[in-house]
Amino acid sequence: MSMDLKTRKRWSLVILLIGLPLYLIAVLYVTNLIYDIWGRMPLLVEFAIYVGLGVIWVIPFRKVFSGIGKEE
């Protein structure tokens, strides 16, 4: 099922304005649980975790975000 550009633009706004903040809250909650269990991790490990989680959220939405900046 292929979405037209207008639909993908609308869904991308919904994902960015609603989904991303909810994902950030969930990530912060989970990382705080991990810190409570294991304590503070080394800086490079913590950085790698946040970068990895920052990239992982967009993988399921590649089709929605592809070509958003292009004209019809």
pLDDT interval class at 5 (50, 70, 90): confident
Q: Could you tell me the residue range of the domain that residue 32 belongs to?
A: 26-63
Contacts of 23 (CB under 8 A, 6+ apart): 57
Flag whether 7 is in a domain.
no
Structural domains of the chain, count: 1
Give 6-44 pLDDT, tens digit per residue.
Answer: 888 999 999 999 999 999 999 999 889 988 998 888 899
Task: Report the C-alpha gap between 72 and 68 in whole angstroms.
Answer: 9
Q: What residue has token string 């269990």?
A: 37
- Does residue 15 fall inside a structural domain? no
Q: What is the reported pTM?
A: 0.76
Q: Which of 1, 55, 47, 45 is nearest to 23 (CA)?
A: 55
Q: Is residue 32 part of a domain?
A: yes
Q: How confident is the model at residue 1 (pLDDT cuts 50, 70, 90)?
A: low
